[in-house]
Structure 1
Amino acid sequence: MRMAKGDERAYKQVFDRYWNKIYQVALGFLKGPEQAREVVHLVFIRLWEKRANVAAVDDFDAWLFIMARNTILNFLQQKARSPDNTAISQDVVPDDLLTPSALLEYKETLSIIQEAIQTLPPQQARIFQLSRNGGLTYAEIAAELDIAPATVKSHIIRALNTIREYVRKHGGHSMAVVWVLAEIIL
C-alpha cells in the first residue's frame, strides 16, 4: 500500500524481495544473464509505473507473476521481430494481458503443485515443506532432521523433479511452475 502511494523505500523492499525470483524465471526462458537482467528491470519499471493499481490487487504475487510472464513473452516476441535483436517495446505489458484468466491459470497451477506435493514420499515431503514453508536452508534442515546436507539436497532435487513431472502431466502452465518453484527454492 505504501508503494502505491509513491513510497520509494517500500518499492525498494519489493524490489529486493522479488528481484531474484523474477531473474531466475527470466533466466530460464532467455538466452543469457544480460537479457534476463534487462527483462527484470523492465518488470520493475512497469511496476513503478503501475504502482497506483497495486492497492486494488488481491494477490500481489500472482499479479507480479503475470506481469513478469507477459514481460518475458513480450521481450521474446520483440527479439524475434527485430533484425538486430535490440528493439524493445516501450509498452512492455499491455493492460489487457493482466487478465482474470491469467490469474486463474496461476492459481490452477498452484493447486496442481499442491496436489503434486501430496504425492511425495513422507520424508521428501517433510524436507520440501521445511524448505518451502519454513524457509530453512539445506544446512538448517539437515541439522533439524539429523541428516547430511547432501541428503537434503537430493530430496529437494527429487521432489522438484516429481512436482514438475506431475504438473506437466496434469496440465499446469510452465511459467507458473517456474515462478512458484523459484519462490520455493529461493
Structure 2
Amino acid sequence: MRSSEHTDSDLWLQVQQDDGLAFKSLFERYWEKLYVYALNRLKSETDAQDVVQDVMINLWSRRATISIETSLAAYLHAAVQYEVLANVSKASKTAGRKQELEKTILPGFVSFLDPVQLKELQAIVEAEVARLPGKMQQVYRLRQEKDLSVKEISRLLDISEQTVRNQLNASYHKLRKHLREAMLTAIFIQHL
C-alpha cells in the first residue's frame, strides 16, 4: 500500500513504533499546509519554516509520549498556531519588530478568533493580571499599559531597575502559563 493510501491514524501508529518512512509521509502530507498557515501569520519565510520544522521535530522526538485526542491534522494545526504565538512573543521582545507585529502579524492572529473567544481571552488576561501580587501587578501594568521603560518604573516606584526586571520576568512567567492553557483551549475549540 502506498503512503498516500494510509490514513493519518495508520501512519501515526507506525510513527509511534519508530517508523521513519511513515513519519516522512506525514511530514510530506502536512508540510505545505502548515508552512502556508505560518507564513500568512508571520510574514517571514524563514520564521515560518522554523516554526513548522520545530513542530515536526517535536512530533518525532515525543512520538512515544504524545496522546492525540483530536485528529492529527487538528493537532498539528494547533501546534503550529502555538509556535506562531511563541515566535510572535519572542519577536515582540525585539524592539525593532514591535511596530511590525502590531501592524501586520497580531491582527492576522486575532482574526482567527471569533469575538466571543477574543473577549474571553481578554477577560482571562485581566483576571490573571489582577491575581498578581500588588507590587508585581503595579510594575506589570506600568510596563504594559503605560508603556514605561524599566528606568522610568524604577524611578516612579523608587525601586532598583533590577527589581523591576525581576518583577516583570516573574509576572510574564506566571501569566504565560495561564495564557498558554487558554490559547490552546481556544485553538482546539476553533478546529473541532
Relative to the length of structure 2, the TM-score reads 0.45
The structure whose RCO (Cα within 8 Å, separation 6+) is larger is 1
Q: Which protein shows a greater Rg?
A: 2
